[in-house]
Amino acid sequence: MKILKIIGITLIVLVVFYMLLCTLGPKRVDATTSITMKAPVRLVYNNVADLTTWKNWSTWNVRDTAMQVTYGDTTVGKGGSYSWVDGKGETGNLKLIEAEQDKHLRSRIQFGNWPGYSFGDWTFEAMGDSVKVTWSMS
């Protein structure tokens, strides 16, 4: 009986500790990556600004070939949108909420029933005959 009491108290302490960490932990996560490629900035920007091209290069589409995408009425630039159902039945939607030709795109992303949104930002920096593309998500 004494061992069960020790196990029970240990489990309670671990659960309380976990809940405390969740409460005090960060509520925001940021990720950023960049790549420089030899291509005209207009070509690269237009490829990202057109949501129908994402199936050709997006990591999510490559990883999950069962993903089903439904496009909104607009698919290019500000207002462009799509929703998805992945191979596991998880849903989400993405909408381009800002677009500055050859410079910047911003998307608002909602994953399933999670409260709130994530935001994706794309910046395009012309560098001679190359372009530096930076993507971040918060």
The confidence band for 22, taking pLDDT boundaries of 50, 70 and 90, is low
How many CB atoms within 10 Å of residue 91?
A: 13
What element of type H or E holds 42?
helix 41-49
pLDDT tens, position by position, 89-128: 889 999 999 999 999 999 999 988 788 889 999 999 999 9
Residue 1 — very low, low, confident or very high, per pLDDT cuts 50/70/90? confident
List phi, psi (to 5°) of 103.
Answer: -125, -50
Note whether 78 and 96 are within 8 A (CB).
Answer: yes
Q: Give the three-class secondary structure for 28.
A: coil
**What tens digit of pLDDT does each residue of 50-83 get?**
999 988 888 887 888 888 999 999 999 999 999 9
